[in-house]
Amino acid sequence: MTTPVVRCRVAPSPSGFLHIGTAKAALYNWLFARSHGGTFILRLEDTDAERTDEQYVHAMCEGFKWLGIEWDEGPEFGDEPEKGEYGPYRQSQRRDLYSREAARLVAEGKAYRCYCTKEELDAQRELAAKEKRPPRYSGKCRNLTEEEIAVKGDAPFAIRFRVPEGETLIDDIIQGPVRIKNKEYDDFIIVKSNGDAIFHLAVVVDDGLMKITHVIRGDDHLTNAGRHVMLFNALGYPLPQFAHHPLIHDEQGRKYSKRLHGANVLDWREDGYLPETMINYISLLGWTSEEEGKEFYTLEELKQLFTLKRLTKSPARFDRKKLDWLNGQHIRMLTVEGLCDRVLPLLRNAGFAVDEKPREWLIEMAAICQEKIPTLNQIVPYTDFFFVTPEGYDEKGERKFFRKENSLKALETALQCMNGLSEWTVESLKASYEQAAQEKELKIGALVNGTRLALTGKTVGPGLYELAKLLGREESIGRMQVAIEYVKTSGEESS
């Protein structure tokens, strides 16, 4: 007895971008392959030429690349050549295979030519809808004789699969056995009149020929699976194992619409989330490990632990709050250098002159924000004051720290502290502030928060001593003086 090698695949149609749901399917396949020493294949389902575009192909692969999902076999992408022995990996390049297999089915009487026109069919469907009957193919061309076909001459025809009598069993790893009466299926078209294969034929031929052992995909394909099972049997291919996982729902509980922000996985990159967060979070949307209570997973852990047995049957809503939390966890796992590298482009983008700062300084800056920010993008409001002199002060902060009885005293005390320092360090600042607070009978908070407002214009941010240290002595003192002047003058006006 030999254990068959695991071969699984993700087969997106490149019609836009990498959808979060496609990413989930890809991730599960990939993790499954990795945890079983199997092969993960990327196949592009671009049979419908009208709906594909090279830009879309690129955008989609970009999504995979960002997530770090790498395929063992797949089409050419960017500077990567096509990989694998079972190519080509684009359906548009496999037309001959489909025609050949379709012809075989026709020859064996398992499929037949249908001369009905699209218009005819549409009319029938409309009529059915009007009469509230389920829309079904009439079966008009099912039993055409040789003579009748001969009469048609070279009229265009589609090819329909002759659905057998009975019932089809989909023995699904996740859903369990699912039985569907064959009556529910029309004699569906497998080749269009223009000669192109329809999705159902293409997937089955590809899965068969590529020796796919496990078909893991969203359960929006569950009913399609019945058609596929029939096709596998008709073509004489061994049946793969099916695993239909639930879809990702939006926060309202619906299938995550393409139009929603976040449907594109790259939206999350845009919003400051780490790819490792997305991998972790998406994996959790329908899977749990044996180890109870653990939610934080690295990719390596997932590759080890992932099993189809632990997949959930019910759909999961996408929860932004939890994603934020998880992203914070992953940000904290980064090395400070790593965080710095990831954050630099964002700051540059915001127009800050980061390249004028020494690397060590930038790393320190990243370090004092690491525990604060839930998303990478938050680095901007947390550090903007380093690069831009604050214009004005937070309104609430002003009332709390500039307009109280002791405010001016606190600011002046803080300035004295700064002036009195022989060295400009976190420790010296801290010591000096603490001592002054005691001597002047000021709350340390008043001292610190007033200073924060003066230096940053805000009430929230990194630790004050750390931030002041990085801002530098001269700049800090300058900003204190400006603030003191501001409090004095505007205070006079208002009273």
Partner RNA sequence: GGCUCCAUGGUCAAGCGGUUAAGACACCGCCCUUUCACGGCGGUAACCCGGGUUCGAUUCCCGGUGGAGUCACCA
Per CB under 7 A, 224 contacts RNA: yes
In this chain, which of 95, 104, 113, 192 binds RNA, going by CB under 7 A? 192
Question: Contact, 111 vs 162, CB < 8 A?
Answer: yes
Dihedral of the CA atoms 141, 142, 145, 146 (nearest 10)?
A: 80
| Minimal distance, residue 150 CB to RNA, in Å | 19
Among 118, 152, 181, 258, the active-site one is 258
CA-CA distance, 206 to 20, in Å (whole number)? 24
291 or 423: whose CB is closer to RNA? 291
Q: CB 461: neighbour CB atoms within 10 A?
A: 21
Window 97-126: residues binding RNA (CB under 7 A): 114, 116-118, 121, 125
| Minimal distance, residue 203 CB to RNA, in Å | 8
CA within 13 Å, CB half, 81: 3
| Minimal distance, residue 493 CB to RNA, in Å | 27
| Minimal distance, residue 356 CB to RNA, in Å | 26
Site track for RNA across 291-320, x = CB under 7 A? -xx-x--------------x-xxxxxx-x-
Binding part of the chain for RNA, among 53-61, 192-200, 266-274, 470-478 by CB under 7 A, reads: 192-200
Residue 374 phi, psi (nearest 5): -80, -30
Q: CA angle 75-210-81, nearest 5°?
A: 20
Window 413-432: residues binding RNA (CB under 7 A): 430
In this chain, which of 111, 189, 234, 380 binds RNA, going by CB under 7 A? 189
In this chain, which of 86, 237, 325, 486 binds RNA, going by CB under 7 A? 325
Per CB under 7 A, 235 contacts RNA: no
Question: Contact, 290 vs 310, CB < 8 A?
Answer: yes
In this chain, which of 463, 475, 478, 486 binds RNA, going by CB under 7 A? 463
Per CB under 7 A, 48 contacts RNA: yes
CA-CA distance, 42 to 84, in Å (whole number)? 10
Binding part of the chain for RNA, among 79-87, 129-137, 359-367, 405-413 by CB under 7 A, reads: 129-137
| Minimal distance, residue 157 CB to RNA, in Å | 7
Per CB under 7 A, 452 contacts RNA: yes
In this chain, which of 81, 134, 153, 358 binds RNA, going by CB under 7 A? 134
Dihedral of the CA atoms 338, 343, 348, 354 (nearest 10)?
A: -60
CA within 13 Å, CB half, 424: 13
In this chain, which of 199, 237, 387, 486 binds RNA, going by CB under 7 A? 199
CA-CA distance, 474 to 159, in Å (whole number)? 81
In this chain, which of 95, 249, 303, 403 binds RNA, going by CB under 7 A? 249
| Minimal distance, residue 5 CB to RNA, in Å | 25
259 or 488: whose CB is closer to RNA? 259
In this chain, which of 39, 175, 264, 476 binds RNA, going by CB under 7 A? 175
Per CB under 7 A, 193 contacts RNA: yes
Query: CA–CA distance from 317 to each of 184, 251, 299 (Å)?
Result: 30, 6, 22
Question: Contact, 52 vs 46, CB < 8 A?
Answer: yes
Binding part of the chain for RNA, among 96-104, 249-257, 298-306, 482-490 by CB under 7 A, reads: 249-257
In this chain, which of 445, 472, 488, 489 binds RNA, going by CB under 7 A? 445
Window 61-100: residues binding RNA (CB under 7 A): 91
Query: Nearest to residue 227, comparing CAs of 181, 172, 174?
Result: 181
Query: How many residues of this chain interact with RNA, rule: CB under 7 A?
Result: 89
152 or 359: whose CB is closer to RNA? 152
Query: Nearest to residue 305, comparing CAs of 297, 313, 293?
Result: 297
Binding part of the chain for RNA, among 103-111, 333-341, 413-421, 454-462 by CB under 7 A, reads: 454-462
| Minimal distance, residue 495 CB to RNA, in Å | 27
Q: Does the annotation count 258 as an active-site position?
A: yes
CA-CA distance, 15 to 258, in Å (whole number)? 11
Packing angle of the helix pair 473-494, 444-456 (nearest 10 deg): 100
| Minimal distance, residue 242 CB to RNA, in Å | 12
359 or 371: whose CB is closer to RNA? 371
Amino acid at 380: V
Give 41's contacts (C-beta < 8 A, 6+ positions apart). Answer: 7, 8, 9, 10, 71, 72, 73, 74, 84, 86, 89, 210, 212
45 or 101: whose CB is closer to RNA? 45
In this chain, which of 23, 222, 305, 340 binds RNA, going by CB under 7 A? 222
Report DSSP state, residue 431: H
Amino acid at 247: L
CA-CA distance, 101 to 82, in Å (whole number)? 24
Question: Contact, 65 vs 32, CB < 8 A?
Answer: no
Window 14-43: residues binding RNA (CB under 7 A): none
Name residue, tokens 């694998």: 84
CA-CA distance, 410 to 450, in Å (whole number)? 7
Window 344-383: residues binding RNA (CB under 7 A): 371-372, 374
Beta strands 7-10 and 39-42 are parallel
> Which residues are known catalytic residues?
258
